[in-house]
Amino acid sequence: MSQPDTNNSKAPVVNKRISDPQSVQVLLIGLTYLFFIGFIFLPLGLVFTQAFQKGWSFYLESIREPYAIEAVKLTLLTVAIVVPINAVFGVSAAWAITKFNFKGKTALKSLLDLPFAVSPVIAGLIFVLLVGSRTPFGSWLGEHGIKIIFSTPGIIIATIFVTFPFIARELIPLMEAQGRDEEEAALTLGARGWQIFGKITLPNIRWGLLYGMILCGARSIGEFGAVSVVSGHIRGQTNTIPLHVEILYSEYNFTASFAVASLLVFLALLTVVIKNGMEKHFHKNSLHL
């Protein structure tokens, strides 16, 4: 980003000729700002105005209310389970795809994007059809006292499905660029599989992995569609933060709804900040080969 600036100060004449006319610059920058204002600043501002409409104490009350706290707990529990599971899956999938040659590799690589392409609602429905109480498998589980749909496991499974591409997607290009040379070198030097993974592979991908985990976590917190289908909206039991927001909203309890929603906004902003810090580190450390 800083390169064009230095060029500009050193060779203004050349740069003037090759850069776009002033009017185009103004127009594009203006449009960008307009877009940001309309789609990001304004809505964010509205969330907070609505949240604090009835004052600070009402805000605190809304987010301290037992159902809200249960929703936050469930959301955090979901994230705490989903992210590690997807990290393990993402690393093994990326490892398999980049370091081995096997049949169906290309197909797997493209299918990895499926959760992004398919509507989350359908993702939820798939699991209802698979393990819901009306299916043979679901009723068998029910007889053994295992409940998946309309309970926490269902929410976790649906969230895993929706977020599993994030980490693998982040790691595959990185591992492809790094190649197998270092692992092969370690192999000829006598290292065992786990030593190679722990000492060579993991350190080489750690920033990409963390970055993918952040994205995966952010999406897990905010996932609505798939979770909505499998959760059953039982207050205090199967409500995550986004579902709780929706319930409050549909009960015309706007201020409380926005207050809880502001929690999501805080989490999102936190994610962006961490992500940015990480990106700097990531580019500094991981990409030089």
Partner 1 sequence: MGIELQNINKKFGEYKAIDNLSLSIPSGDLIALLGPSGCGKTTLLRIIAGLELADSGKIILENKDTTNLPPRKKNVGFVFQHYALFRRLNVFENVAFGLKVLPFKERPPRIEIRDRVEHLLKLVQMDWALNRYPSQLSGGQRQRVALARALAVNPRVLLLDEPFSALDAKVRQELRRWLRKLHDEIHVTSIFVTHDQEEALELADKIVVINKGRIEQEGTPQEVYDHPANAFVYNFLGNVNVFHGRIKNGKVSLGDHDLDAPDELKYIEEKPSQTFVRPHEIGISRIRSNENDLVGIIHEVRLQGGQIGLNIECEGLDNPIEAEVPRELFVNLQLAKGVQVFVTINRVRVFAGDYEI
Query: Under the rule (CB under 8 A), what is the footprint of partner 1?
Result: 181-182, 184-192, 195, 199-200, 203-204, 288-289
| In the complex, least distance from residue 57 CB atom to partner 1, rounded to whole angstroms | 52
Residue 1: CB atoms within 10 A of its CB come to 4
Of the two residues 119 and 195, which places its CB atom closer to partner 1 in the complex?
195
Residue 41 CB, nearest distance to partner 1 (Å)?
A: 41
Which of left, alpha, beta for 240 (phi over 0: left; psi -120 to 50: alpha)? beta
Kindly tell me which of 143 and 181 has the beta carbon lying closer to partner 1. 181
- Report in angstroms how near the CB of residue 204 gets to partner 1 at its nearest: 6
DSSP per-residue string spanning the chain: -HHHHHHHHH-HHHHHHHSPPHHHHHHHHHHHHHHHIIIIIHHHHHHHHHHTTTHHHHHHHHHHSHHHHHHHHHHHHHHHHHHHHHHHHHHHHHHHHHH---TTHHHHHHHTTHHHHS-HHHHHHHHHHHHSTTSHHHHHHHHTT---TTSHHHHHHHHHHHHTHHHHHHHHHHHHHH-SHHHHHHHHTT--HHHHIIIIIHHHHHHHHHHHHHHHHHHHHH--HHHHHHH---TTTS--HHHHHHHHHHTT-HHHHHHHHHHHHHHHHHHHHHHHHHHHHHHHHTS--
Nearer to partner 1, 118 or 191 (CB): 191
Nearer to partner 1, 86 or 201 (CB): 201
CB of 189 to partner 1, least distance (A): 4
Minimum distance of partner 1 from residue 176's CB (angstroms): 15
Q: Give me the residue label for tokens 């949240």.
A: 51
Question: Whose Cβ is closer to partner 1: residue 5's or residue 181's?
Answer: 181
**Could you tell me the smallest distance in angstroms from the CB atom of residue 174 to partner 1?**
13
Q: Please report how close the Cβ of residue 268 comes to partner 1 at its closest, in angstroms.
A: 32
Q: Which is nearer to partner 1, 16 or 192 (CB)?
A: 192
Q: Which is nearer to partner 1, 46 or 185 (CB)?
A: 185
